[in-house]
Chains A and B, each alone.
Chain A
Amino acid sequence: MQSNISDETVENYKLVIKPVRARKLLDEIKDIWSNRELLLMFVQRDVSVRYKQATIGFLWVILQPIVMTAIFSFVFSFVARIPTEIPYPIFVMSGLIMWQYFNRCVTEGSLILVEQASVITKIYFPRMLLPLSICFSAGLDFLFAGFVLVVFIAISGVDLSLTIMLLPVFMLMAGLLAFGISLILAPINALYRDVGILLPFMVQILMFLSPVIYPVSAVPEKHQWIFMFNPISTVIESMRWAVLGSAPPPMAAYLIYGFVTFGLLIIGFKVFRNLEAKMVDRI
């Protein structure tokens, strides 16, 4: 069954286990890359479990944004009457799909270490793969929902913009931002469980601070610049630019997005690395 091992393998390999994992950011990224097969397995598991568990499975992925759109459309275009340039259902759906993606990455990504506690206390692998896998599996749902959106846009007679090719890029942007946040929150949640309780509430606030269900134009013009400092807003506006051809966010917004995301990732890697070992002993 097994092959004999030679002295050579023993001499060539060396791993030192120390009280602190002295690792650089680059090592971390290399680690993720060399474990890409395991990452894929996590994504596969996540996706197939989700579709197997719910009886309507795959349908749910498509139904969820439609139902949400219907509800928000009813409230905001019939009851509250928010003025939008494009039909409100399509406007809100495009925002919701992107928001849902970001929301899932952050929420599920922050809770996954606790959820997978039995695995991480039994075997070693780069734990960052867990929140990262969420960004991918949720991304698949995003693409499906995006397809449904495109069908809706076509039906409603609004012109599709060629910028739709940029959609995966904006998804990646949202994913990176969410990954940075979950890298910070996931190990903190493992140590202090009340983070998980606070999280849905914080995310809800974040949603209302971003132009998901209302357009930026609903805010007085002199205050609109504030959205530039909200990277989620930038991502959502980019999404609308991609599918509906609306005005893209200003260049400064992208710069700020890049700055914030990069910063969150750097801090996230550091926090995750520092708390990882502590967390495993206490989870």
Chain B
Amino acid sequence: MSVIIEACNLRKDFRRQIPGEARYGTLRDGLANGVKNLFTKGRLPKREQEFFSALKDISFEVNQGDIIGLIGRNGAGKSTLLKILSQISLPTSGEVTMHGRVGSLLEVGTGFHPELSGRENVFMNGAILGMSREEIQKKFDDIIEFSGVGDFIDTPVKHYSSGMKARLAFSVAAHLDPEILIIDEVLAVGDYEFQKKCLGAIKDVAKTGRTILFVSHNMNIIRQLCNRGIYLRDGTIYKDSYDIDAVVAEYMSIESDARTYWDADEDSYDAKDFIFKPKKLYLSIDSQIIKRPIAGDEDVEVNINFEMMEVEKALSVGYALFDSMGALLYWTYTTDASGERVQIVKGKNTLSSKLPVNFLNDGDYRLVMIAGVQNDRPIYKLDTSPIGITISIQGHRDRSNFWTNRRHSIVAPVINWHANEEN
């Protein structure tokens, strides 16, 4: 495997944007500053706080055939890096050596003009992306076919729906032929059907041995598509590994600011009830405490740790689950199921239950601990309980390519279908 991109101490500084000030100055100010500098003979030091570094001396190598998922929060430096690799922006210091032509797709439909027809725009966009006229001519029918725009190809693009525009634009890009393909969050457009087609196209490209750098906030797509993850954080490479799941998991655990772990000591929480003293509420996988967002297919346990001052046979402990809009999905108690009752002893107890797998939708949920003594008193009611954590569900490995976005439903189980043979 040969190295196709070598980046060495790449740094990019930007002038800090002063709120309310336009990004471009005026010639008047420029000249005034120039004259001022002339008189002070450049003695005025450049104020350092005027600059910030979008990339802080990063180095990495990309091997031919790598399909890299570039992840990080907004402002982490992903777009800056892609712009440097695409030659759009130059680094402040450091250098990159590319051993292959780059085709970059930082936006679908760059150069599309609303007055021009679909056909004219295909040629325009193709030319901007670096295809020759002959090349576009040769692939024209494929491009039209892939886009599904069909009969509207000679209609001005201003009459297209945004979906059609995106499909046509992506079709041009999908027929690019460079050794290195750079794609920035462009799959967010179009319908599911087309997104699936695009993903398929990218996978096809990947199979030909081309190198792909891919930015997306959709961790599902990243996990499906990429074989290597680079996690950028504040302009530095925080993690770079061929174990894409590990990079994604690390990213999700770090960037999630919702609280996924509750500890009475940390909160200096003083329980009011005299026999039931909750201590911890947390999630775990394989007995390991986890604080990161979870995928819908992971086996996660909900754990409630508490202390009993004396034995209370009629005690029920459980939790209630709310979605991000505050709707109650379900609640459950240790006394739900028939059969042997869960034993609660004097002193420390930890009760665990499995979170339903393949059930929750993508998004944040609030899990609240509830408790009460049957026929006596409620201790923590589901609408007032102060003890809770946030569960973030992101992605599901069993979902197909058709399913890329969050569904507009409360729950989202992956349900298997089969054709019935008796027709």
Contacts and interface: CB of A to CB of B under 8 A. Distances in A.
Interface of A: 1-5, 7, 9-11, 13-21, 37-38, 41, 44-45, 48-49, 52-53, 118-125, 188, 190-195, 198, 277, 280-283
Contacts of B116: 45, 48-49, 52
A200 to B, nearest CB: 15
Contact of B104 (A2, A44, A123, A192): A123
Nearest to A198: B27
B89 A277 contact: yes
B179 A123 contact: no
Nearest to B107: A122
Nearest to B103: A123
B100 A48 contact: no
Contacts of A120: 88
B98 interface: yes
A192 B30 CA distance: 8
Contacts of A123: 86, 88, 104, 106, 110-111, 128-129
Interface string B17-51: 00000111111111000000000000000000000
Given A2-B205, A122-B107, A16 B86 contact: no
Contact of A41 (B25, B110, B123): B123
B23 to A, nearest CB: 5
Contacts of A41: 123-124, 127-128
19 contacts: A1-B142, A2-B204, A5-B210, A7-B64, A9-B100, A10-B179, A14-B97, A14-B99, A15-B102, A17-B85, A37-B132, A38-B127, A41-B127, A44-B120, A118-B110, A123-B86, A192-B24, A193-B22, A195-B27
B92 A19 contact: yes
Contact of A194 (B27, B87, B96): B27
A19 B102 CA distance: 18
Interface of B: 2, 4, 14-15, 22-30, 64, 83-102, 104, 106-107, 110-111, 113, 115-116, 120, 123-124, 127-130, 132-133, 142, 156, 174-175, 177, 179, 201, 204-205, 208-210
Contacts of A118: 107, 110
B90 A124 contact: no
A214 B120 CA distance: 43
A96 B89 CA distance: 41
A35 to B, nearest CB: 9
A21 B102 CA distance: 17
Nearest to B10: A17
Contacts of B24: 190-193, 282-283
A60 to B, nearest CB: 15
Contacts of B90: 17-21, 277
B166 to A, nearest CB: 15
A194 to B, nearest CB: 5
Nearest to B123: A41
Contact of B97 (A1, A16, A124, A188): A16
Given A1-B174, A52-B115, A282-B23, A45 B124 contact: yes
B155 to A, nearest CB: 12
A119 B95 contact: no
A19 B91 contact: yes
B4 A17 contact: no
Most buried by B among A9, A122, A188, A280: A122
A11 B64 CA distance: 11
A38 B125 CA distance: 10
Contacts of A188: 27
Contacts of B29: 192
Contact of B209 (A4, A11, A195): A4
Contact of A7 (B2, B113, B132): B2
Given A123-B86, A193-B22, 11 more contacts: A1-B175, A5-B210, A10-B64, A10-B100, A121-B83, A123-B88, A124-B104, A188-B27, A192-B25, A277-B89, A281-B14
A7 B175 CA distance: 21
Contacts of B96: 16-17
A244 B19 CA distance: 59
A160 B111 CA distance: 43
A21 B107 CA distance: 24
B112 to A, nearest CB: 9
Contacts of B179: 5, 9-10, 13
A16 B95 contact: yes
Contact of B100 (A13, A52, A191): A13
Nearest to B114: A49
A1 B205 CA distance: 8
Contacts of B132: 37
What 8 pairs between A and B have smallest CB-CB spacing?
A192-B27, A124-B87, A277-B90, A41-B127, A17-B96, A15-B98, A122-B110, A122-B107
Contact of A122 (B88, B102, B123): B88
B208 A4 contact: yes
Contacts of B107: 118, 122
A2 B156 CA distance: 29
A40 B386 CA distance: 68
Most buried by A among B110, B127, B130, B177: B127
A280 B99 contact: no
Contacts of B133: 37
